[in-house]
Amino acid sequence: MTDTLGTAGRRRGATPPLFKLARALAATLLSVLLTIIGLLFVTFLIGRVMPVDPVLAIVGERASQEMYEAAYRSLGLDQPLYVQFWIFLKSVAVGDFGMSTLTARPVAEDVLRVFPATLELATLATIIGVCFGVPMGVISAVHEGRWPDHLVRLFGLFGYSMPVFWIGLMGLLVFYGILGWVGGPGRLDIYYEDIIPPVTGMILIDSLIAGDMTIFWNAVSHIILPASILGYYSLAYISRMTRSFMLEQLSQEYITTARVKGLSERAVIWRHALGNVMIPLITVVALSYATLLEGSVLTEVIFAWPGIGQYITNALLSADLNAVLGGTVVVGLVFILLNLLSDLLYKIVDPRAR
């Protein structure tokens, strides 16, 4: 009798774990695929509505009508819009974004060359934002309504309110022009360029690999100011979200229980409350990181930082449509992947979300 009931229970039982995992994985992959196709479609439409003639950018304004029409056909612009989009999809699938008229090189090669500079800058800025923003948010929540709370919120408000380009210009004027504490625009002084063999494309790491500490510290002097400015923007966002999460956790019953049991205030705040805050904070940090990767255009232009932001800006000013679309697609893909990574980390850290 027991065997019969057990067999019936297994037949009517829950879905096997492997099947659930496969179904969840398939749903995630489908969602990411649809998001990428949507991104490519929007990017494609932007390229078609921009007031830029890609043919003139290639052949020049003095080209004959025959040459113009030949280039027009070679680009597939004489095809229906859905055919052009299909051609665009097939090209992107193999990493072909066309040739850049500005550099006369494939756009994919240009992006691989400039993206590590943006990655290095955004990563250091995110580290600064997390290392200072999280403790400031915790302190602000613990001292709600008192002067430390007001000070942190005012500091964060300045980070939200002041334009990045103005902070960058003032930083260059004060810390580079007047005080001479940091390096100027660019990633290195001109006499140090092209000495370190590129391995990762990130000067700080490549100089350490090469064991050249002179170039390493020179790179630090150049990156510290733009990274601090971007880090300040990230800090303002992270500290505000940390404060909000901490206030919610500090009002929970388990915090009161922990205090009644005699745990120290340090353990209650930094171990228990902050431990639960770290779960949603992962998403906040990931979004902040993605925003810095895609939104550091003004900072890169002000500091002559040869990253993806400056590359897209120069391409836009030169009517280099392939470079603009290629850079935009890459930035969008990075944003999607970081969101996916944050979701995966969220499920790893919090078993309830699995």
pLDDT digits (tens, 9 = 90+) for 282-308: 888 888 888 888 767 778 888 888 888
What residues are paired with 106 via a beta bridge? Answer: 99
Model confidence at 60: pLDDT above 80: no
- Residues written for the chain: 354
pLDDT value of position 5: 47
Closest CA to 21 of 347, 349, 311: 347
DSSP H or E stretch at residue 333: helix 321-349
**CA distance linking residue 165 with residue 176, whole number of Å:** 15
Just give the CATH number of 107-353: 1.10.3720.10
pLDDT value of position 352: 58
pLDDT value of position 58: 67
Count of C-beta atoms within a 10 Å radius of residue 118: 25
301 neighbors 342 (Cβ within 8 angstroms):
no
Closest CA to 111 of 345, 328, 316, 348: 328
pLDDT digits (tens, 9 = 90+) for 244-277: 999 888 888 888 888 888 888 888 888 888 888 8
pLDDT digits (tens, 9 = 90+) for 127-186: 999 999 999 999 999 888 889 889 988 888 887 778 888 888 888 889 998 888 888 888
Lowest mean pLDDT among 13-22, 99-108, 138-147: 13-22
**3-class SS at 186?**
coil
Closest CA to 303 of 148, 176, 155, 184: 184
Residue 121's pLDDT band, with cuts at 50, 70 and 90, is very high
**CA distance linking residue 326 with residue 79, whole number of Å:** 21
Interior CA angle at 21 toward 16 and 27, to 5°? 125
120 neighbors 223 (Cβ within 8 angstroms):
yes
Residue 342's pLDDT band, with cuts at 50, 70 and 90, is confident
Residue 125's pLDDT band, with cuts at 50, 70 and 90, is very high
Give me the chain's average pLDDT, please: 81
**Residue 310 token pair:** 């400056």
> Is this structure's pTM higher than 0.75?
yes
Closest CA to 131 of 53, 27, 242: 242
**3-class SS at 145?**
coil
Model confidence at 6: pLDDT above 90: no
